[in-house]
Chain A
Amino acid sequence: GAVVSQHPSRVICKSGTSVKIECRSLDFQATTMFWYRQFPKQSLMLMATSNEGSKATYEQGVEKDKFLINHASLTLSTLTVTSAHPEDSSFYICSARRVAEQYFGPGTRLTVT
């Protein structure tokens, strides 16, 4: 149990376009999901906390208009990177909370050309 999927696993897009990443909890309901960004050889940087049915809570320095988060159901949260630029290229990982634990998706490698 406690499986989290993420789609797509890799995406290449052109500068100025938008990209949507989906995070799903497959075998449990998650009222809270988290979105992280991870640079090579670095720790997980929390971007935002996504709560089902309410607005996401963004960490300081994360542009909410650029990284749109929607948590429309208890098993799905989406992150949309709007007007992507090369500096947005990174590894994005979501996690879903079940009781105290967090279970991570496999991540999405975003490359903006």
Chain B
Amino acid sequence: GENVEQHPSTLSVQEGDSAVIKCTYSDSASNYFPWYKQELGKRPQLIIDIRSNVGEKKDQRIAVTLNKTAKHFSLHITETQPEDSAVYFCAASMANTGNQFYFGTGTSLTVIP
């Protein structure tokens, strides 16, 4: 089955700096890679996703890159703000098959004002 690894487990950055979270996956059949943000005691919220036919996707301060050959994808947050502090999860799945998501172990991001 699929195995998703996520690094780092914790990350602290100064407000205004950039944050990068990296994930690797093992199954080359995976073709959909979402990122979720989860604040304490709340539900995970989809913040950005990318499909395997695209190498990069950007939405304002958030971007995701995908390297299919190396089987890794990364989340980039620029100009970080205190409200970006949360736990971020990456996931991998095979879209449109009904298959489950395989989640990474999470990254706790703290943005220091």
Binding site for B on A (CB under 8 A): 4, 31-32, 34, 41-44, 46, 49, 51, 93, 97, 99-107, 109
Q: Determine whether the beta carbon of B89 is less than 8 Å from that of A46.
A: no
B112 interfacial by beta-carbon distance below 8 Å: no
**Closest chain A residue to B6, Cβ basis:** A43
Interface residue SS majority, chain A: strand
CB-defined contacts of B106 to chain A, threshold 8 Å: 42-43
**B61: interface (CB < 8 Å):** no
B46 and A107 within 8 A (CB): no
Given contacts A42-B106, A100-B32, A104-B43, contact A32 B101 (CB under 8 A): no
Interchain CB contact under 8 A, A44 and B95? no
Cross-chain contact B42 with A44 (CB below 8 angstroms): no
Q: Is the CB of B93 within 8 A of A43?
A: no
* Docked complex Cα distance between A41 and B89 (Å): 12
B98 within 8 A of A: yes
27 contacts between A and B (CB under 8 A): A31-B98, A32-B98, A34-B100, A34-B101, A41-B87, A42-B105, A43-B89, A43-B105, A44-B44, A44-B103, A49-B98, A93-B44, A99-B96, A100-B51, A100-B95, A100-B96, A101-B34, A101-B49, A102-B34, A102-B46, A103-B46, A104-B36, A104-B43, A104-B44, A104-B45, A107-B43, A109-B41
Residue on B nearest A99 in the bound complex, by CB: B96
Residue pair B93, A100 in contact (C-beta under 8 Å): yes
- Residues on A with C-beta less than 8 A from B87 are 41
Give A59 Cβ to nearest chain B Cβ, in Å. 9
Q: Which residues of chain A are within 8 angstroms of B45 by Cβ–Cβ distance?
A: 104
Give per-residue flags for B62-106: 1 if the beta carbon is below 8 A from chain A beta carbons, else 0: 000000000000000000000000010100010110101101111
